Each structure stands twice: as C-alpha cells, then as structure tokens.
Copies of this chain bind each other. A is one copy, B any other.
C-alpha cells in the first residue's frame, strides 16, 4: 500500500521553514504498516498543486495533502481538489457551526473570507479538527484515497489518529513489529561490528542504524518472537551503551535509576545545559536538586570550593578541577551525587595542549569520584551536548555498577 505525502506552501519550497509535517505523517503511517514511498512539496499555486495531486494519485494508493486550508485567498487547496474532482465545494456543517458559535461569543459574525476555512469538497467526507477551525476531508481520486489536512503542526497532529483509523478501516494493515534501542557512547560502525554475528545469524530481522547526535538508534524489525529472542544477545553485546527502548529523555531514565537519590550539577562550558537536560521531563524535582553554573573561575572558587591552587596549577579544564567541582556541588547542595563538566567548547579558546573539544567530566558519590576525559572536536553546540550526555552516562555507569 504505497503512500505519497504532499505538503503545500511557499514557505516550505523557499526553505523558510524546516517542514516537519512530512516526517510526522510518514512516521505515523509507517508504524501502521503502510509504505511511504514519496514526499512532495509544492507552492501555493493552482497549477502546481493540481500537478502534484495528479502525479500522486497515479502512483500511490493513499495520498495525504497538508496545507492551504486557511481563510486567506492564497489558501486554495480545497478549490484545486474541487477542480480535480469536478465537484463543488460545500461548508462542513459541523465546523461551520463551531466557527459561528465562536464568533457569536465575541458578538461578531464571520465574514465570507473567514468561512472559507470551513469549506470541503462537496463529494468529500469531513475529518474533524479538534484543536482548530479548518476541518480536513477525505475523498477518492482515481484509485487513491486522498486526505486533505491543515498544515498547522498542532492541528495536523491532532487529526492523524482519525486518519489512521480510517486507513485501518479501508485496508488490511499489519504493522511489522520493531524495537528501537537508543544508545550513547558507541559509533554506528562500532556497534555494527559488535552486532555483526547476531545480525548474520538472524537473517529474518532487519537492522537499521540512525545517528541523531548525540544518540545513535538501532531499530530492529521482524517477527515479535524473533525480536524477543534476540533481545538478550543485543543487551549482552551493546548493553552498556543502551539508554532505553522508549521515548523518555535520558535525564528521566537516569532519574528513575536514581530511585529517590538526588543529583546536583556543576557546569562550566555547558553553562546550564546539563541541568536543562535533567529536567526536560516533568517530575524531575524527585531526582534533580539544582546546580551551579560556574562559567568563571571566580564562581568555581567561591560557589564550589575549587582551590585557587588547582586552577593555577592545572587550569579550569582539568581532572583536578572537575573533581573538586563535583565534590563541591554535592557537599554544598547536600546531595548524594554531584556531576561536573569543564571544557573548551570553542570556537576559540583552544590551545595546543587543550584543543577545542577537550572536556573533563567527573561524578562524585559515596565519597568516591570518577572522571573521564573527552575529546570531541566538533561544533560548539555538539561539544556541549556530547559533554552533557557523557556526564549523564558516567553517572549511569556508577549507578548500574553498585
């Protein structure tokens, strides 16, 4: 069952925005067991939209169109669909009633322009928009099921479940079971090497790697029994890199392993990013106490008890310094665990001895401090992100080895 996704909008074609709608829809439909074969984007131009729909309905059985459903005169998707269908448009009675009620509440009447957004092709079935004004619609063009949906990501996302239900009603879909191991700390090729014999002895499973810095995901697809059988072997081979197989942020995963114990952070070059990552998910006050952003040496000395001698002798980017930072924050914040980061994130500030990308991290807990030196000469953004992940991974190893 081949799918084509069409997104309509000048801002997409010009590259003003990164169009995340296509991947959102594709991910949804792939998980339902559909084969997403084509993505197309075109401008808000009648002839281009018509051409996109004609090509898509000739080569795909399911076509998902987004965009061009708003109230302004450059929102023309419904008109083009009507032209292709040889149909009139009509107001979707339910969407129109909601819009009129909303206008009544503010003592006004919708203009004809406002009402444009509740139009659908007369031969189409409406799809309710639970978070916006413009309804979607479903119709048949040639041999294809065509869905027209709004381009506003929040509205699109809210409507995808109904589209999924309709597709499940129309087609025999069977999603291929899969599991995704999210990892940190190994390279793609390093993992592939470690897993090569497992991959060879399981030809019925497909292995896919994907890097989204700083994580690398391994997705394995195949029969559920085979997935279950191979799980232990996978964990044996790359277990120390696995963060989780679900969607939780790494900070939250760590929070659960901390099981009630609290962590505090002392950050130099990452300047708060580690704290922000620890608290990405709600409920993080259960395991995250706070921290010190020690961007200057003065702060390291006064707020974290780093000794001036250490800074003079070894500099701020040194094993000695991160050790004192981690212990200092743990003691001052009265937490069992203290994590620290100090490095050269660039783009300037590197030296021959400590080039850009050099980062020291430390983990203090139970009277013991462990450290790690990282060298990751990339962009400032990536160096900082990898430094934070490395610090979290260091704590995870400590917690797991207890």
Contacts and interface: CB of A to CB of B under 8 A. Distances in A.
B27 A13 contact: no
A376 to B, nearest CB: 14
Given A23-B19, A271-B288, A272-B275, A39 B41 contact: yes
Contact of A14 (B27, B265, B348): B27
B27 A22 contact: no
Contact of A210 (B16, B275, B283, B381): B16
A295 B290 contact: yes
Contacts of A303: 290, 292, 303, 332-333
Interface residues of A, number: 77
A12 interface: yes
A343 to B, nearest CB: 12
A41 B38 CA distance: 6
A380 to B, nearest CB: 6
Contact of A55 (B55, B212, B282, B283): B55
Given A19-B23, A55-B55, A275 B289 contact: no
Nearest to A384: B276
B30 A23 contact: no
A15 B23 contact: yes
B279 A291 contact: no
Contacts of A231: none
Count chain B CB atoms within 10 A of each CB in A48, A267, A274 and give the residue with the most. A267
- The A contact surface, by secondary structure, is mixed
A182 to B, nearest CB: 13
A50 interface: no
B296 A285 contact: yes
A299 interface: yes
B26 A15 contact: yes
A40 interface: yes
A377 interface: no
Contacts of A348: 282-283
Given A272-B275, A282-B345, A303-B303, A24 B15 contact: yes
Interface string A385-396: 000000000000
A15 B19 contact: no
Contacts of A114: none
Contact of A333 (B55, B208, B299, B332): B299
A288 B294 CA distance: 10
Nearest 8 interchain pairs by C-beta: A272-B272, A15-B26, A272-B275, A15-B27, A39-B41, A290-B299, A271-B279, A291-B293
Interface of A: 11-20, 22-30, 36-43, 48, 51, 55, 59, 208, 210, 212, 219, 265, 267, 269-276, 278-285, 288-296, 298-299, 302-303, 332-334, 345-349, 380-381, 384
